[in-house]
Each structure stands twice: as structure tokens, then as C-alpha cells.
A and B are shown apart, each in its own frame.
Chain A
């Protein structure tokens, strides 16, 4: 039985006969032509592996430059705002290498409490570290610097993971190792580009795309007396067409998301049976083809993140038997942590109208509604 390669060689030689070999040059070309196909049979996968490695290497260079830029911007901003006596570089580098070990899920009972405790510890540690790095910064500036350092940390993690797969692929020359990173690279790059846009926003303290929920709440509570009800979270009481409206959001203008889970439970406990609806407004990822700034309405807890706050809100809503309504402002992943786009700013007016309509449709006069503006409130006061 003939081997496959012999059969292929014969085939190409037969194809080669189609060309006339009147002179030496034509013979050389024919040999080169046949050889190149024979080589391709044995080395096709290796050539493909090398091409993919080269593409990953190009991306890696770009990510490295962005990671370095993130580190540089963080150090420079800390120096400008925090006026530290010592060089903050070692502190920033330590921050960029920090990590969080999530609790084990082998026995999932009580995992939310464990995760929340870890997240609180992480938050407190980050806050203390940033305070030490930038002693002259105000509380809101510390929140924003924390966000900036977290963006730099994210870029560092992305860089290290891509580098890991690149070097592992280079070491093993195994197409399946390289394929894993090569396949997801375009999607990862979108996230990396979003984080690089975040550097600009957090450096200057600009509002970001994720802040649309907080901005909607801010528009509803602006001019009213507000109070702090949970950590970095504020609430104000207003009225609309005979209904009492309790609006809450993270305390701005620093970069924080607050504790909406705790805040909603506190408001429900304070107003017990009066609350007939909870309306949550948040940014939501749009699908390709959808417009930036589209406003959609639905049911449920509109909140992203680790899931801890979502769990707390759902628990509170269930305990007090209050329905949850959601208003989502659609946006591209590249807009979430980038400086707020005009379309998104204008979408918050549409979200305010949507909230008012839901209040009108779902509640009666004399009843109370909680409106929760979810998201990072950097650059947005109340």
C-alpha cells in the first residue's frame, strides 16, 4: 500500500508534467514548486504555529506598552495628587502584583458571606495602601486613585496571562497551547483597550460609561437633602406625582460603587411596608448592532460585579416582598470605563423618563419607591 506522501508526490509530478521543461530554469521552477508542496505536507502545522506565535507576539508587545503606560500614569498621578515624600514606585509595583484568592466552592453554603468578607478586606487594604502612597489626597481622590491603580493592575494581569501562553507555546511548539490564546485574543484586546481608556478617565477624575446609573440617580436627587446611609453610599428623599421616591447612589465625585446591597436593605427596614417597588438603573453591555445609549426595561436586579451585591439586593427584595424593576442603558464594552460619551449622557435623560413611567405604572399615590442608581460615580456628585 502506497503511503499518502508518495501518492501526493506522484500527483504533483503529474501536475508538473503539464508544464513544459524546455530549459533548465523551467526545470528548477518545477522542482521548487514540487518541493514546496512536499515541505508543506510535513511542516504545515509548524508554519501555522509560527504564524500564530508571531501574531500573539505582536499583541504582547502592544499589551506590554499599555501595561507600562498604566504603571507610569499611576506613579505620575500619585505624585501630582498625593504629594508623597517617598518615591511611590515600589508601592505601585507591589499593588500591581496583588491578588485575591476566591473562597472554595466545594461546599457552596455561605460562600457569599465569605466572599464579601474577603472583598471588604481587599477594599480596606487597598484604601490604606493608597492613603499611605498619597497622603495629601482627599477621600474622593483616594477612591479615584484606587480605581486608577486597579486599571493598572488589570492591564498587568492581562499582560502576564498572554505572556504565559506565548512563552508556553514557544517552549512546547504545540499548536493547541497557542491556539487557546490566539482564538480569544481579539476579545481580550477589546477589554485591554477599554482598560487603557480607563487610565485617562481615572487619571483626571472624569465620569465614565459605567456611571450612567449613578448619573440618572444624581439627576433625580440633585437639589435635595441627602444623607450617607451605608459605606460610600448616599440617599435622598423626594416626591413624584404623590409617591415618595427614595433615591440612592454611590457617594460622588470619587470613584466608588458604594454598597447598594446594604443601602437598599437599610431603606427597606426604615420604610418597611411602604415600599412597593425597587427600580434599579445600571449600564449594560450591548450586543453588536444595538445602539450605544439604548434604554431598555426589564425585571430583576440590574447590577454587575462579583455577584455579592446582587445577592444582597435579591435577598432584601425577597425578605420584604418588593418587586425589582430594571432600567438598562446599553453600551459597548469599550465605553464602560472610558470617559462618558455624549450619547450615554443623553441616555440618562431617557432613563429618568423610564423611571418616572415605571413609578406611575407600577405604584399608586401615597406609596414609596426606591430608585437605585448603580455604577461607578467617578466625576459625578449628587
Chain B
């Protein structure tokens, strides 16, 4: 369950062996506690049944926490940002304007693009990311505020 990378060994991208063993152990004990709980309930020992059930449920909750925490780490392993970049091209002669997605080779003030409406040449006047929405800005602010 471990991966060798760059000559250094550390836990794999999924749950480590120790965590897995711990989860399994807690699972066995929790199941046993629940079983004991039912036994006590059948014997009309309500107080004991209540404690056994509590231990069992607590054990399963711990298992869930350990499992999903490891899952979150796996999910966070690659988070390359994505950005929608737009290019605005304008013809100075006829005023024709195009806004399209950025393509490799675009740059601000590039002026060798033929206009499709007249015989003039078009110039790239703007290259930038799309403006953030209110929601994104709000999220950014709340993240900053929390940190």
C-alpha cells in the first residue's frame, strides 16, 4: 500500500496500511459491541444494552471519520487551476469586434489578422480571464475571512 517515489517511501495515495488495519480493528470491536448490545437487549438488561450500543455506534462513527478523512486527502492531491481566457479582436477600420477563447499565439496588440468584414487589419485589444462572478468573489472573501 505504499509507493516509492524519488527514492523516498511514504504512504500511498489511498488509505495507508496502518489506517486500514486500525479501521478493521475498530470495525471488529464495534460489531462485537453491537452483538453484545442485542444479546443484552434480549436478556432484558436494558442498561448494558444501551452502553454496548453506544460503544458500537461510536466505533462506526470513528471508522467513518477515518475513512472519509483519507478520501478527502486523495481528492485534494491534484488541484490545477482552470481559467477561461478570452481574446478580443477589433477592426479599427470598420469597428467589427470578435470575442473568442484564447488561442496559442494570441497576444495584446497583435495586428496581422485580416478583417472578415472589410479589407482592414484587426488588432487584439484585450486578453484576460473572465470576470469573477459574485458567487466566486463571495466564496473567496469568506475563505479569506475564515483563514
Contacts and interface: CB of A to CB of B under 8 A. Distances in A.
Contact of A207 (B6, B78, B107): B107
Nearest to A346: B128
Interface stretch (A267-275, A335-343, A354-362): A335-343
Interface residues of B, number: 37
Interface string B21-48: 0000000000000000000000000011
A296 to B, nearest CB: 20
A226 B131 CA distance: 32
Contact residues of B: prevailing secondary structure: loop
Interface string A212-253: 000100100010000000000000000000000000000011
Contact residues of A: prevailing secondary structure: helix
A82 interface: no
A197 interface: yes
B142 interface: no
A339 B129 contact: yes
Interface in B74-108: 76-83, 85, 102, 104-108
A206 B127 contact: yes
B109 A222 contact: yes
B131 A343 contact: yes
Contacts of A205: 104-107
Contacts of B130: 342
B147 interface: yes
A24 B47 CA distance: 11
A69 B78 contact: yes
B108 A341 contact: no
Interface string B1-14: 00001101011010
Q: How large is the interface on A (under 10, 10 to 19, 20 to 34, 35 or more residues)?
A: 35 or more
Contacts of A199: 80
B77 A65 contact: yes
B144 interface: yes
Contacts of A137: none
A381 interface: yes
B8 A167 contact: yes
B5 A64 contact: yes
A163 B110 CA distance: 44
B51 interface: yes
A61 B107 contact: no
Given A58-B73, A62-B76, A205-B107, A379 B81 contact: no
B102 A206 contact: yes
Contacts of A26: 51
B127 A340 contact: yes
Given A167-B8, A339-B129, A345-B128, A204 B102 contact: yes
A186 B110 contact: no
A163 B109 contact: no
Given A69-B80, A207-B128, A343-B131, A22 B109 contact: no
Given A25-B52, A200-B83, A379 B108 contact: yes
Contacts of B144: 288-289
A289 B80 CA distance: 25
A154 interface: no
Contacts of B10: 57, 60, 166
Interface in A31-60: 57-58, 60
A204 B87 CA distance: 13
A207 B82 CA distance: 15
Contacts of B104: 204-205
B129 A341 contact: yes
A340 B73 contact: no
A278 interface: no
Given A26-B51, A381-B107, A196 B127 contact: no
9 contacts: A23-B47, A57-B11, A60-B10, A61-B73, A62-B79, A200-B81, A206-B106, A342-B130, A344-B128
Interface of A: 22-26, 29, 57-58, 60-62, 64-66, 69, 163, 166-167, 186, 193, 196-197, 199-200, 204-207, 215, 218, 222, 252-253, 288-289, 338-345, 379-382
Given A58-B76, A200-B83, A338-B83, 4 more contacts: A22-B47, A25-B51, A339-B128, A379-B106
